[in-house]
Amino acid sequence: RNISKMLDHFSQYNPSPLSIKQFIDFGRNPCERTSFTFLRKELPVRLANIMKEIHLLPENLLRTPSANLVNQWYAQSFKDLLKFKDLEVSDKILTQFCESLIMIRNRHSDTVQTMAQGVLELKENYPVDQQTENSIQYFLDRLYMSRISIRMLINQHTLLFGTDLNVTSNSRHVGSIDPNCDVVSIVRDAYENARFLCDQYYLASPELQLFEHNRNMPNAPIQVVYVPSHLYHMLFELFKNSMRAVMEFHGDKETVPPVVANISLGNEDVCIKVSDIGGGIARSQIELLFNYMYSTAPQPSKSASPTVPLAGYGYGLPLSRLYARYLQGDLVLQSCEGFGTDAVVYLKVSQV
Ligand SMILES: N#Cc1c[nH]c2ncccc12
């Protein structure tokens, strides 16, 4: 139908990636019509590109009910956005566009869990060869990176132009971006919340030792232009995994060793290193922690919650690495088996 013609049309364009500087510069003097005109083309381009890749998925995954459901969500959202193509801009249209973006964001909120369910359905019904596993790993990385970037575009538009009062209106946030994101406060938040889960599960938790190393301005707080929710997501995951390692390795002792966070600001990189002496993991196993197939295990039913591990190595690590890479950073694990693990989140110092 003409949807597939439109798919061909929009998938011919390449996505136009936006840097954090571009988001900030636009957000300093935001124009809703400009944003609308950009997004009503850019969002269909990004959806069409990823939908083309979904259709290239290994048949056995694409045929699973869950992967099929995700595909239908994308098709529906693509159609929703096409209604705005070539329309005369008016205040009414701008309001409808915002409402459509919110509907699209809600429609896709469970994409990660649903795709994980699809991977499970695949594993349970078909033998998975190495080639299939590699293509699924490559595809899911691209699907989730694309989803991160699309949700960033939607969030910036709805936060800058949406009706719900920008609760941080008096603060200097630019949409979901904090131009002066205080890294230590995010580290402490992520630690405290991971510690709460750790205490619930192990009835104890490692202390946090935090050190700052501000190369050019010692004692000045280390700040970065970043999306606080992305940074929190990554650090929460790392703290959960570190705490699990420490408690499993030292749980039988009176006291357990602390988790250490070293935060450094250089000329190009901001680094947050989370170190534990939780016994580490063999080098050969590190890659598996980022593998979607390996880390997809049947989710224990909610009723059996006591058996849910603190850190399940679900999709947290691969997704966290995608968040880091989305804004030109990275997330790296360095483990010494029998001793402990360093996990480093690398962020870019912004030239904003
Ligand atoms: N992320 C993370 C980890 C942080 N410490 C770890 N120890 C064993 C396995 C994984 C980890």
Among protein residues, the one whose CA lies closest to atom 4 of ligand 1: 242
- Which of 240, 335, 342, 345, when mutated, tests ligand 1's pocket best, judged by the most ligand atoms within 8 Å of its CB? 335
Closest atom, ligand 1, to C-alpha of 278: 7
Q: Is the dihedral of CA 339, 239, 233, 76 positive or negative?
A: positive
Please tell me the predicted confidence (pLDDT) of residue 33. 98
Could you give phi then psi for residue 258, rounded to 5 degrees? -75, 165
- Count other C-beta atoms under 10 Å from residue 282's C-beta: 11
Q: Residue 274: what pLDDT? A: 98
Dist. CA 211–CA 272, nearest whole Å: 10
241 lines ligand 1 (CB under 6 A): yes
At residue 123's C-alpha, the angle toward residues 121 and 126, to 5°, is 95
The CA 245 to ligand 1 mean position distance, Å, reads: 6
- Span from the CA of 241 to the centroid of ligand 1 (angstroms): 5
Spacing, Cα 137 to ligand 1 middle (Å): 20
* C-alpha span between 130 and 146 (Å, rounded): 24
Question: Residue 283 has what pLDDT?
Answer: 97
Active centre residues (catalytic): 233, 237, 240-241
Range list of β-strands (E), the chain: 178-182, 208-214, 223-226, 259-265, 269-276, 330-336, 340-348
Q: Is 343 in the pocket of ligand 1 (CB under 6 A)?
A: yes
What is the pLDDT at residue 350? 84
pLDDT at 163: 85
What string of pLDDT tens digits covers the 352 residues of the chain? 688 999 999 999 999 999 999 999 999 999 999 999 999 999 999 999 999 999 988 888 999 999 999 999 999 999 999 999 999 999 999 999 999 999 999 999 999 999 999 999 999 998 899 999 999 999 999 999 999 999 999 999 999 999 877 665 557 899 999 999 999 999 999 999 999 999 999 999 999 999 999 988 998 999 999 999 999 999 999 999 999 999 999 988 999 999 999 999 999 999 999 999 999 999 999 999 999 998 877 766 555 555 667 776 567 999 999 999 999 999 999 999 999 999 999 999 987 7
Please give the structure tokens belonging to residue 327.
Answer: 């804004």
Q: Three-state DSSP class for 185?
A: helix
